[in-house]
Structure 1
Amino acid sequence: MQPELNAIPQLTDKYFLKSKEVVRRFGDARVTYGVFMRRPVTFAPRLAVDWLNAVAQARGTSFDIKLNFKEGSWVGAGDPMLYITGSFFHLVDLETIFLQKIGAACVAAYNAYTVCSDLPKVAFLAMDARHCAGQEMMELMAYGASVGSEKAKKKVGAIGFVGNATDATAHFFGQSQGLGTMPHALIGYAGSTVRAAEMLHEAFPEEPMTVLVDYYGQEITDALEVCRRFPDLAAAGRLGVRLDTHGGRHVEGLDMAQSYAVLDRNCPQAIRGYRTEQELRYLIGTGVSAAAIWYMREQLDKAGFRKVKIVASSGFSPAKCRMMAASEAPVDVIGTGSYLPEKWSETYATADIIAYDGKPMVKLGREFLTQRWEEMQRTADIVQVEPEKA
């Protein structure tokens, strides 16, 4: 997230570099950029602001960065999010990079807030690292998830995101390291789900354990076998089973008709309230459906393992989480990477210069960016970004 100064020219759009050379030859100006997005977002500017300030310090200059919203605030489409004022010479070659650091984080924060507020009693684990295009995106997504999570905690009392999968970005969630237990590969290596659990527990005896149970397509059978193998962990609430069934089949013991029956027993209003085929799929379809989670809870409770937690993963987008809420699915933890922007084009932040040496001037069609700025000039309405918590 902090490219060295000598790398900036290689990462910047060429026309900005040409503009920088023109300004060097013909004289600098003090300019103000207005930054906005074309869709509603949750404001997550810190990584961009920190980077801009670091570059300014390294270049021996300073930028006046005025935020129109507090971190975590809702921002409407087209609303100017922040204004950046400073030397045109020192700002013009930074636009490519600072826009990269704003848009995706704001959309991730919006989606993370949505899932956390829809399911306030569920803990979330950020498992997006494998779906990110490198370390920089990983950091943007973790930061965005943490902003959305904190907003949900404040507004609806949500549990929110309790951690993520990698050590590098764990600090965004107040953790010293990433969280996680076993991948499917460990079960294949061990030869059985129970044996994989035994190996994991022997290697990490002091940690709570969550065991994947879909490897062999025997979610219920393997979950109960693991519970019987570790009755003390189960009774202490230190054992969880993770459903990660792929979308090509139903969880063991279910088909569509039986899935209807499960929901009818536990939450009949959900099955009567769906509106689209996709919503119906989330409720009673293949993979990790609401019916699958309810069925696992029924079987665990029937066998006396009421304190064993259910962890669910696989495609838990905001839309899927809404249906989990509608069905009151008894899930304790959701592992998700699906708060990542679904349409990357929605993450594009845009910047336009709106003033040169204090004189308002913006391209035709972007006059809306100057209105807030002119008000701020009159009222000195400056909101500073909250510092990152240690």
Structure 2
Amino acid sequence: MAENQPGADDASIAARTDSYFNRTKAIVTRFGDCRVTYAVFLRRPVVSAPRLAIGWLQAVARERNTRFDIEVMHEEGAWVGAGDPIFYLSGSFAQLVDLETIILQKLGAACVAAHNAYQMCCELPGVAFLAMEARHCAGQEMQEMMAYAASVGGAAAKREGAKGFVGNANDATAHWFGPGRGRGTMPHALIGYAGSTLRAAEMFHATFPDQDLTVLTDYFGREVTDGLEVCRRFPDLAAAGRMAVRLDTHGGRFMEGLDPAESYAVLERHAPQAVRRYRSETELRHLVGTGVSAAAIWRMREALDEAGFPKVRIVASSGFGVQKCRVMAEAKAPLDVVGTGSFIPDAWSETYATADIVDYDGQARVKVGREFLLRHSGGRKRNAG
């Protein structure tokens, strides 16, 4: 990511950085430069995702014909404690002081999103995740950052035995998940256009006969009925494991055939321990409430198996964040794939990264209360420029 970094020229940086950094740059240039070291950190635990920030620093160093020394204390994908520097950044004060705003933009949200993605994958280690965050992002830069973060968090979970994130929904950011293109079959709009779930599936298969078929089943409120109808229409795909039903029931109603009593009954058959202890209102909604609940997933699995389609997979989407993944794990929900954008941080204030200078021309100095940032050995140095 060191190549083709946008906004590495002086004019772009000056326009986007905070004015007091620009003024400090002018003052330092007038009164004499010095070599400084910044400690760059977050105030909460995260997973290290520094590549975008470091790549941009490398691009700026080339643009300015200077050199930045970057000592990475926590490699990409490593867990980082609150207040623990992710990297130390050293170089000319005049060349670095106006970069802080943009460095922090490129680091904080990525690290928190990576942490969320990691936790989700670890809660459901046997489930493959698809990153579907693009529609919730504020433009291309955030879209790139969130896809990167999902790939980092997913890779960290894979190292612990989870399936992790296996792909995403669009071509532009698919490179973060390996070779290939964005994944996905149909939105609700196609089913509305086709007039029926079955007809939409037929249209998709006729247009893309070599691709696996994942059918979105909630458009008409007949998740089970329409899902089974499509399975019967394409028995060869179903038998070959090349077919899936996707549950995306919104929170305003129960999945077909369920109500509160029946939802409890479903979980009593499959995961009674999940409902036999105190639950918060949110946890109960994930278990037996409206939308894509654990009971809904279990009921879909029952229906598929009873109809003779044990190899048809279940894909679930709609609000799958860390907490919902944890509840699904406790209910042993028979999920194969989760499509999610809910690794995007909920509380944006948690994404605020911070940088403090800890060394001026070889003299350790930091504002009172931040002595814990003072530089120590043990990292791996990367040079830029």
- Aligned residue in 2 for 1:236: 240
- Aligned residue in 2 for 1:134: 139
- Aligned residue in 1 for 2:379: 382
Give, in whole Å, the separation in 2 of the partners of 1:73 and 1:93. 28
- Aligned residue in 1 for 2:70: 65
Decide which of 264, 285, 292 is 1:260's aligned counterpart. 264
Q: CA 1:384/1:229 → structure 2, altered by over 3 Å: closer, same or farther?
A: farther
- Aligned residue in 1 for 2:42: 37
Decide which of 151, 156, 161 is 1:151's aligned counterpart. 156
> What secondary structure sits across from 1:162 in the alignment?
strand
User: What TM-score does the superposition give when structure 2 sets the normalisation length?
Assistant: 0.96
Number of equivalent positions: 377
1:163–1:175 CA contact under 8 A, matched in 2: no
Amino acid at match of 2:380: V
1:70–1:384 CA contact under 8 A, matched in 2: no
- Aligned residue in 2 for 1:178: 182
Decide which of 322, 328, 331 is 1:327's aligned counterpart. 331
* 1:273 CA displacement: 3.3
- Aligned residue in 2 for 1:388: none
1:116–1:158 CA contact under 8 A, matched in 2: yes
> What secondary structure sits across from 2:159 in the alignment?
helix
> What secondary structure sits across from 1:321 in the alignment?
helix
> Which stretches of structure 1, 4 residues or longer, exceed 6 Å deviation after superposition?
none
Decide which of 246, 250, 260 is 2:250's aligned counterpart. 246
**Between 355-364 and 326-335, the greater mean CA deviation after superposition:** 355-364
Decide which of 282, 297, 300 is 1:293's aligned counterpart. 297
Decide which of 193, 206, 224 is 1:189's aligned counterpart. 193
Give, in whole Å, the separation in 2 of the partners of 1:274 and 1:158. 28
Give, in whole Å, the separation in 2 of the partners of 1:357 and 1:243. 59
Superposed, 1:80-159 pairs within 5 Å as 80-155=85-160, 157-159=161-163
Amino acid at match of 1:130: R
Decide which of 284, 290, 296 is 1:280's aligned counterpart. 284
* 1:215 CA displacement: 0.4
Q: Indicate the RMSD between aligned Cα atoms, in angstroms.
A: 1.1
1:274–1:280 CA contact under 8 A, matched in 2: no
Identity among equivalent pairs (%): 67
* 1:26 CA displacement: 1.4
Q: Deviations over 1:125-159 (max 9, x none)?
A: 0000000111111111111111111111112x111
Amino acid at match of 1:136: E
Q: Deviations over 1:26-78 (max 9, x none)?
A: 12111111111111001111111111011101111010101111211111111
Q: CA 1:291/1:314 → structure 2, altered by over 3 Å: closer, same or farther?
A: same
State yes or no: 1:226 paired with 2:201: no
* 1:2 CA displacement: 2.4
Which structure 2 residue ranges, 5 or more long, are not aligned? none
